Structure 1
Amino acid sequence: MRTAETGAGGLPAVPFRQFLLKIHSLCNLSCDYCYVYFAADQSWRGRPAAMSLGTMGRTADRIAEHVREYRLPEVRIILHGGEPLLVGRTHLGELLTLIAERLDPVVKVRCSMQSNGILLDEEFLELLRRHRVGVSVSLDGSPAAHDRHRRFANGRPSHARVAAALRLLNSPRHRELFRGLLCTVDLANDPVDTYEALLDFGAPRVDFLLPHGTWERPPPGLEHRETPPARPPVGGSPDGPTPYARWLIAAFDRWFDAPRKETGVRMFEEAMSGVLGGPVHTEGLGLAPADLVVVEADGTIEHSDSLKVVGAGAPETGLDVFRHSFSEALATETMRRRQAGLSGLGPVCRDCALAPVCGGGLYAHRHHPTTGFATPSVYCFDLAAFIAHVRHRVHVALAHLTPTSSEPGPERPSALP
């Protein structure tokens, strides 16, 4: 077994356990907030439409090499795009067969796909079921909420097509493949209505995503935030409103106050774990070392593709699967910083009591043209206000569980961050 090289902060590098494979570079929707086609990085234009079998075979071999180096018991492969189903049923079947042939003898593989759902039909689902591929679908809520941004290039709405696919995915025959829904937060949409519209499809899990933005190109509603905070926020934002916190808080309260949890909401569950001193394992929250790497359709190895919002070339590593190992990607400056925990954050974040929960926010959202990534997230005050609210709700809930008599009862944590 190879010993991991030392990363930033003197810590050993953490091997990659998640491999996001861009099996198709194009999409059949033209969502106006898409970070692939409408952000600063336009590298998709120079790539092949579909990942070839040769590129997939080399990628699988590199994953197997990485598995052997670090004795990994399990890896996760995420088929992504663009829209991955655009590769077609025949080519998708060949790609999945190749993954199984190269990796099943070496490691346990959990394979999933992120799709917009437009092409998802009975034949595709049968193919995905044969290869044990879970499916997550992007849905932004009600028809009006979803179709505000997620339209075809000619302007036609897409919600009806996605809804039909979700009903098929959630049918008894295919339900086991359903992994969840991804919903991008839009301040124009009512948060409770959005959450309840997602519940209509019986998803096992929902993941709310903040729109991508940086200090140079702030997300909608935060255009006034031109200067990063010079000190950690206390109790939310002293400098103005926190619209994304308000949106998330309303959705969280609806979810938290339900008699029983209708579905898991990843962002909410991870925030609750964090305020209780537990682990936080999302890319946008917490201090856990990043363990995901991207392989583009041409075999290029890249960092998280959310970095496309930062600038042209921002996700690049200079590596590819034909000439380089994934261990070489671990040695890049970006990965060392993203695996360094608290010491990988800027000075304001390192001094913040919320850092174990917030983790500085999504790496791309920290970027500032002057200070780079050593800056709090453009969502800093929103994240602080949201986490403070979650902490309060959890604190109150635990107080109600504290016994008032001398009889023993559940222990209450000694402190919340």
Structure 2
Amino acid sequence: MIPAIPFNEFVVKVASRCNLACDYCYVYEAADQSWRDQPRVMTDETFARVCAAIAAHADGPVSLVFHGGEPLLAGAATIERFAALARDIIGPVTLRLQTNGTLITAGFAAACARQGIRVAVSLDGGSAANDKHRVRPDGGSSFSRVRDGVALLAAERDVFAGFLCVVDASNDPVETYEALLEHRPPAVDFLLPHANWAAPPPHPGAYGDWLVAVFERWYRAPTRETRVRLFDDIVTLVLGGSVASETVGLAPVRVAVFETDGSIEQVDALKTAYPGAAALPIASLDAALREPGIVARQIGVSALADECLRCPVRDVCGGGNYVHRYDPARGFRAPSVYCADLLRLITHIAAAVRADVSRLSRAR
């Protein structure tokens, strides 16, 4: 039996509602609608209890991510107060925040600078690409407010962490990437839409080619313009290294989620599978490590489908994102719904990297 590994990243939902209406949202547009029963905003008392639970459980460096919903609906003053409280209770902690970017103010950016909070923003490309999915409840554009918010973050030192971009394979890949580069992000994380075998992605089979096109633009650039986490992780794995990722590789997942009422859940993207898929019927982080869903995401190869075990890129792919494996007939012991796309991307990156390693070896 592989021993359980303590959680070291904690996603804390300080607000359970959102001011956008993104059509692919894994919280509000998914099968699980439990957000409706959550308090709109986490209270100070609940946040203190969450921090105490983290402090009691953690064994090493800790990362805390302010999340939602849209966390800024809790208010910038609350975020700053919570940041100080987290340090008081947990001790040294890396603080991050994920936002849709529309509510960022100069005051909030300055508060993040004071508290050492690094902020990642969701943006899907330029105005047209972004506003295909990421719109206000009235259907209006969110792009300009996000653009202005990013500029405010970038004006502060070491606050803007980069972008999360959900891939829409109907958008031009290079145009999408270059639109993100215009904001000079330190990093970009491309995310596949949260789909599974019961609810397939909107453009099946097109995501591998889309990501290969972005990889080529990124990899062949004369200078390093930004970090792309997915590509960096695959390159590292191809070269025999290890990464901590939900998307690729076989490293144990060490993330726990706290809802606004203080309850503990698995990664909440599981809510795209079926109602209750992310729920954990326990009250402590230590107990959560014994839950089957957590165990499956910590035991690596042993949790993979038979097809994955025979795959030549098994150790790099790692079966893909656990969320994307769900099949009503097989549970999560199925290949990723993006299996062909991941194979296409990984084999392409491996060939590019190995060719360069070979060329450099010959040049010595």
Normalising by structure 1, report the TM-score.
Answer: 0.86
Equivalent-residue separation in structure 2 for 1:25 and 1:383 (angstroms) = 32
Partner residue in 2 for 1:250: 213
Q: What is the RMSD of the two structures over their aligned residues, measured on CA atoms?
A: 1.0
1:111 aligns with 2:98: no
Runs of 5+ unmatched residues, structure 1: 1-9, 223-241, 410-417
Equivalent-residue separation in structure 1 for 2:82 and 2:227 (angstroms) = 31
Identity of aligned residues (%): 44
Partner residue in 2 for 1:91: 78
Partner residue in 2 for 1:234: none
From 143, 165, 171, give the equivalent of 1:183. 165
1:361 aligns with 2:345: no
From 6, 16, 36, give the equivalent of 2:7. 16
From 121, 124, 141, give the equivalent of 1:140. 124
Equivalent-residue separation in structure 2 for 1:274 and 1:101 (angstroms) = 37
From 54, 58, 64, give the equivalent of 2:55. 64
Out of 395-404 and 32-41, give the one that drifted further.
Answer: 395-404
Partner residue in 2 for 1:230: none
1:163 aligns with 2:147: yes
Partner residue in 1 for 2:38: 47
Equivalent-residue separation in structure 2 for 1:328 and 1:40 (angstroms) = 26
From 208, 229, 238, give the equivalent of 1:266. 229
**Conserved 8 A contact 1:280-1:357:** no
Equivalent-residue separation in structure 1 for 2:166 and 2:263 (angstroms) = 27
Task: After superposition, give the CA deviation of every residue in 1:302-351 in whole Å (9 maximum; x if it has no partner).
Answer: 000110100000000112xxxx3211111101111110011111211122
Deviation of residue 90 (structure 1)? 2.8
Alignment of 1:186-335 (within 5 A): 186-222=168-204, 242-319=205-282, 324-335=283-294
Equivalent-residue separation in structure 1 for 2:235 and 2:76 (angstroms) = 40
Amino acid in the other structure paired with 2:236 = S
Normalising by structure 2, report the TM-score.
Answer: 0.98
Amino acid in the other structure paired with 2:361 = T
Equivalent-residue separation in structure 2 for 1:95 and 1:110 (angstroms) = 13
Task: After superposition, give the CA deviation of every residue in 1:270-321 in whole Å (9 maximum; x if it has no partner).
Answer: 01111112113211111000000000001110000110100000000112xx
Deviation of residue 130 (structure 1)? 1.7
Runs of 5+ unmatched residues, structure 2: none
**Conserved 8 A contact 2:245-2:253:** no
Rg: which structure is higher? 1
Equivalent-residue separation in structure 2 for 1:52 and 1:246 (angstroms) = 45
SS of residue in 2 equivalent to 1:402: helix
Task: After superposition, give the CA deviation of every residue in 1:212-269 in whole Å (9 maximum; x if it has no partner).
Answer: 10101001112xxxxxxxxxxxxxxxxxxx3100000000000000011100000001
Equivalent-residue separation in structure 2 for 1:19 and 1:295 (angstroms) = 7
Amino acid in the other structure paired with 1:254 = R
Equivalent-residue separation in structure 2 for 1:271 and 1:278 (angstroms) = 9
Equivalent-residue separation in structure 2 for 1:89 and 1:347 (angstroms) = 48
Count the aligned residue pairs.
364
Equivalent-residue separation in structure 1 for 2:84 and 2:360 (angstroms) = 52
Equivalent-residue separation in structure 2 for 1:218 and 1:164 (angstroms) = 34
Equivalent-residue separation in structure 1 for 2:140 and 2:96 (angstroms) = 28
Equivalent-residue separation in structure 2 for 1:210 and 1:334 (angstroms) = 21
Equivalent-residue separation in structure 2 for 1:100 and 1:394 (angstroms) = 41
